[in-house]
Amino acid sequence: MKKKLISLISTVLLVSSGFAAWAAGTPNSSIIHIALTAPITGDYAEYGNNFKHSVEMAIDEINANGGVLNKKFELSVGDSKGDPKESAMLAQKWTSDSTIVAQIGDFTSTCCMAAQPIYNRAGMIQLSPTASHTKFASGSKWSFSVYGSQYWEQPVMAALAVDKLKFKNMALLYINNDWGVDTQKSFKENFEKRGGKIVATESYFQGETDFNAVLTKLKEFKPDALFLATMYNDGALISKQREKMSWNLPVIGASALYSPQLIQLGGTAVNGIYSNVSFFAKDPDPRIQAYVSTFEKKFGNTPNFAAALAYDCVYILADAIKRAGSVDRNAVRDALASSKDFKGLAGSITFTAERNAIKTYKPVQVINGEFQLVE
Amino acid sequence: MILEITKLEKKFGGLTAVNAVDLSVKEETIHAVIGPNGAGKTTFFNNITSIIPADSGRIIWKGERIERLSPQAISAKGIARTFQNIRLFAYMSVLDNVITGTHNHYKSFVWGAISRNARYRREEKESRELAMELIEKVGLADKRHEYARNLPYGEQRKLEIARALASKPKLLLLDEPAAGMNNAETEELDQFIRALREDGLTVLIIEHDVRLIMSIADRITVLDYGVKIAEGNAVEVQNDDRVIEAYLGKRRA
Amino acid sequence: MFLQQLINGIAQGSLFALIAISFSLVWGLLRMVNFAMGELYMLGAYAGWLVVMHVTPNLGVALFAGFMVGWIVGWLIEKVAFKAMRGVPHIASLVCTIGFSFFLKETASTLFGAETKSMPSYYSQTAFTIAEANISWLQVLMVAVAIIMMVLLQLLFYRTKVGLAVRAVALDYRTASLMGMKVDRVTSLAFSLSGALVGFVGVLAAIYYNAVNAGMGFVPAIKGFTAAVFGGITSIPGAILGGYLLGAIENLSVKFMSSGYRDFVSFLILIIFLLFRPNGILGKKTKL
Ligand SMILES: Nc1ncnc2c1ncn2[C@@H]1O[C@H](COP(=O)(O)OP(=O)(O)OP(=O)(O)O)[C@@H](O)[C@H]1O
Ligand SMILES: [Mg+2]
């Protein structure tokens, strides 16, 4: 009963605020109003705040440089708390405000997908920095994700393995779930295309802690190197057990290995492991350094990949508006969809027909207990 | 009188298994309880040992009422029993089975086992020695490491008696101890029970083997349909009309 | 590499065997399965981790801490899920242990965070090498500790009055109570002991795999239970045999087929085996 009452009241408030906004007037010609949906509080607050800080920073920069089409950006921020219901409510709010051109957010795929039908019906861009579910962007012509997919990672890793590291025979170890199977397959295809040979493939199920048997078996095939399609925690465990077996060989893996936790858990055993990232805070690229240092100065923490992706969202949106030459929602959507080789902080972005980003990735390696870019 | 029972009654639904039974047992005697199948003998034993408490009536043991006590408390008072349907620990050695009978006498438990203090070691030794002594007495010394379930029926009965004796009882209740024994074993049992009486024990025994009963019982109580129908020495009971009727009459006809 | 897999299997089998003993103990006393066994293992691992990280790097103290935490939480589970539920249908106790399983897991991940914690390595150097197979000191230590634990248990059960009482209660609690044994106390004691044992194993596993997290107990608990059933759940020697056999089969099966199937293979063997010997390897021959 209480719940019903609350949702009734909030609907009334939403609708009336929508009217208020509508009454407040037709688009002000000198601003570009955009909305951000992010988990500012709750379990994902760290990411939500990274979103918010980055988006505010990007907007300030653009406005300081004269804006786009002689208009300044204006931002409205909504806290979804990581709750799909909240995310959908915010979608109602944004779509009922005719001044809003586009929405950036939300953080989780679940939240994005809960809000998706609302943006779709209203015809408003829903640009998510981090929604990784492949079915998200393809679900509506108004939905975009700049996150990319592991599918675009593996060409980079295969090139690294064959061209730079000169591996010929490799062994694969993957976690037996959708993600692990796809990642492993994608690496194998790319590696074989370049003339490499996979000599052994093994898998394990979620929750396994004993990798001695699998490693012992893989070792028998005497591969040049090992590819891991695993999360960082399993990756650390595997590396420790491999070290104990005194089996020393180069290891490369998916971007899921890229986490400070890998080094914390794996210690010396993970030294030398290769992974890849789309955004790397210590990248010497001056644009990235400028971003990271400003961010650190303003907010006191190093921006993570979610922050960089949110930052890219603002700029790719600004770019689309410029190319569309107007703030008409349809024109901006079409321009956004045709973005090509957009140079973001977290890799360049080209959208597929299903509005998922094809991205570029940079190989990294653990050297002396720290990730470093591979030249 | 070491045990005095008055108006003991136990009903199972509509069936009165023990019906207002009075019974007095004199110290250091062998007192038999006999009666046709289903007469209520075992139920009577269960009432005394509180395994199935009586509905009403009084049980006085050495001047103290015990009918509301728990089975453990009654065992601690010095009343031990054997079972008509043998209840040994089947997958436990003969020796260990008897040692379980000594459980009540010893105080130290967890802490003792951890610290292995002097008292604990003494108690373990004593209970082991007592158990060995009893096993020898019933002639199972050679089989002390066998599982109880691997013994022949007659020997299992002996083992149950040894276990009951391990609690150093004053009163021993035996429920059909000769069942499953051959003639030689029954003869041994006869001697054994007499020896217990010489050692100062009081024995209450249920038995169908008439020869054994007539030979050892100092006094006999006869139950039929839960009711005490006769009491006396062997000769008196054998010549009682109601007893003859109960045994030879309607049911055996 | 056959030898190496066998060695891996024996090391892992030591863990399975000790967990299996715990399941056998609880089954023997209560004809019940404690579904929170994996979480007792996990809590033991956290206790060991806390000791090593914050108190002392002494492994003995860490193992003792795991043992004690397992004991205390085991005791609590017995009080709530079994003692308080006496007379209620058995299923209520089972569900209650499932509840404990979730509760303890959630508590641990709230208390310590969801991320995996790293446990330092101990004795990871190679002890000796036989025909290309490496045996680490830790593996030697694990097997040794497991065997010492089993010998101690055997002494406890067969050489002490407490052990006799546990066996008596397990075989026939009614008769045991007639012998003056306090069935409740004996049950509680043995249940706590089973918890302590898995808590202890949790620490061993944390060291062996260098990792501690809230979900770590699930798979080992299932394996331990399987090992117990495999060996004959009513028997401790059976549980031990089952543990080592399961460890060996799992690791050796990897040699012949993809490791993704190794759980499947061991369960398949188990099911086929149980079709012919429903009481496990040792089955009804021995009890506790
Ligand atoms: N637990 C019980 N529940 C219901 N009825 C019972 C129970 N125990 C005994 N009875 C009934 O009570 C009556 C007396 O049984 P009891 O076992 O005492 O006889 P008994 O004299 O020992 O016979 P037997 O010589 O065959 O051993 C029988 O009719 C029996 O079916
Ligand atoms: Mg009877």
Q: What is the pLDDT of residue B125?
A: 87
Q: Is the pLDDT of residue B73 over 50?
A: yes
CATH number at residue C174: 1.10.3470
Q: What tens digit of pLDDT does each residue of B116-150 get?
A: 777 888 888 888 999 999 999 999 999 999 999 99
Mean pLDDT of chain B: 90
Q: What is the pLDDT of residue A23?
A: 41
* Tokens coding C96: 């209650």
Section A327-339 average pLDDT: 93
CATH number at residue A62: 3.40.50.2300
Same domain, A207 and A259: yes
Which chain C residues are Cβ-neighbours of B99 within 8 angstroms?
161, 164
Of A232, A253, A277, the domain-final residue: A277
In a domain, C103, yes or no: yes
Q: What is the pLDDT of residue A19?
A: 47
Give every residue of chain C whose pLDDT is below 50, as ranges: none
- For chain A, say whether C109 makes contact (Cβ under 8 Å): no
More confident residue, A36 or C259: A36
Q: What is the pLDDT of residue B110?
A: 67
Same domain, A203 and A302: no
Task: Say whether the ipTM exceeds 0.90.
Answer: no
In a domain, C17, yes or no: yes
Distance from the CA of C115 to the center of ligand 1, in angstroms?
A: 64
In a domain, A27, yes or no: yes
In a domain, A375, yes or no: no
Pairing mode, if any, of strands A31-38 and A100-104?
A: parallel
- For chain A, say whether C259 makes contact (Cβ under 8 Å): yes
Q: Do C164 and B109 touch (CB under 8 A)?
A: no
Same domain, A156 and A138: no
Distance from the CA of B37 to the center of ligand 1, in angstroms?
A: 8
In a domain, C92, yes or no: yes
Spatial separation of the C-alpha atoms in residues A297 and C107, rounded to whole Å: 37
Which residues form the domain of C147?
2-276
In a domain, C257, yes or no: yes
Same domain, A140 and A172: no
Residue of minimum CA distance from atom 1 in ligand 1: B12
Same domain, A15 and A142: yes
Residue type, A325: G
Which residues form the domain of A319?
11-147+285-349
> Is residue A24 very low, low, confident or very high in pLDDT (cuts 50, 70, 90)?
very low
Q: Do C167 and B71 touch (CB under 8 A)?
A: no
DSSP string, chain C: -HHHHHHHHHHHHHHHHHHHHHHHHHHHHHS---TTHHHHHHHHHHHHHHIIIII---HHHHHHHHHHHHHHHHHHHIIIIIITTTTS-HHHHHHHHHHHHHHHHHHHHHHH-SSPEE----S-SEEEEETTEEEEHHHHHHHHHHHHHHHHHHHHHHHSHHHHHHHHHHH-HHHHHHTT--HHHHHHHHHHHHHHHHHHHHHHHHHHHTEE-TTTTHHHHHHHHHHHHHH-TT-HHHHHHHHHHHHHHHHHHHHHS-GGGHHHHHHHHHHHHHHH-TT-SSGGG---
Q: Is the pLDDT of residue B113 over 70?
A: no
CB proximity under 8 Å: C 186-215 to A = 205, 209-211, 213, 215
In a domain, C102, yes or no: yes
Q: What is the pLDDT of residue A10?
A: 52
The CATH class for the domain spanning B1-78+169-253 reads: alpha beta
User: Does B38 contact ligand 1 (Cβ within 6 A)?
Assistant: yes
Q: Is the pLDDT of residue A32 over 90?
A: yes
Q: What is the pLDDT of residue C287?
A: 54
Of A230, A248, A277, the domain-final residue: A277
Same domain, A23 and A136: yes
Q: What is the pLDDT of residue A65?
A: 92
Total of domains in chain C: 1
Spatial separation of the C-alpha atoms in residues B88 and B82, rounded to whole Å: 9
Residue type, B220: I
Section A73-98 average pLDDT: 93
Among the residue ranges A343-347, B110-114, B197-201, the one predicted with the least confidence is B110-114
Same domain, A231 and A130: no
Q: Do C211 and A265 touch (CB under 8 A)?
A: yes
Residue type, A362: K
Same domain, A17 and A125: yes
In a domain, A374, yes or no: no
Alpha-carbon Rg for chain A, nearest whole angstrom, is 23
Same domain, A142 and A289: yes
Intervals of CATH 3.40.50.300 along chain B: 1-78+169-253
Q: What is the pLDDT of residue B162?
A: 95
In a domain, A328, yes or no: yes
Q: What is the pLDDT of residue B71?
A: 87
Same domain, A175 and A233: yes
Helical (H) or strand (E) element with B178? none
> Is residue A9 very low, low, confident or very high in pLDDT (cuts 50, 70, 90)?
low
Q: Considering all CA atoms of chain A, what is the largest pairwise distance in Å, rounded to the nearest integer?
A: 74
Same domain, A323 and A262: no
Q: What is the pLDDT of residue C282?
A: 75
Q: What is the pLDDT of residue B246?
A: 80
- pTM for this predicted structure: 0.75
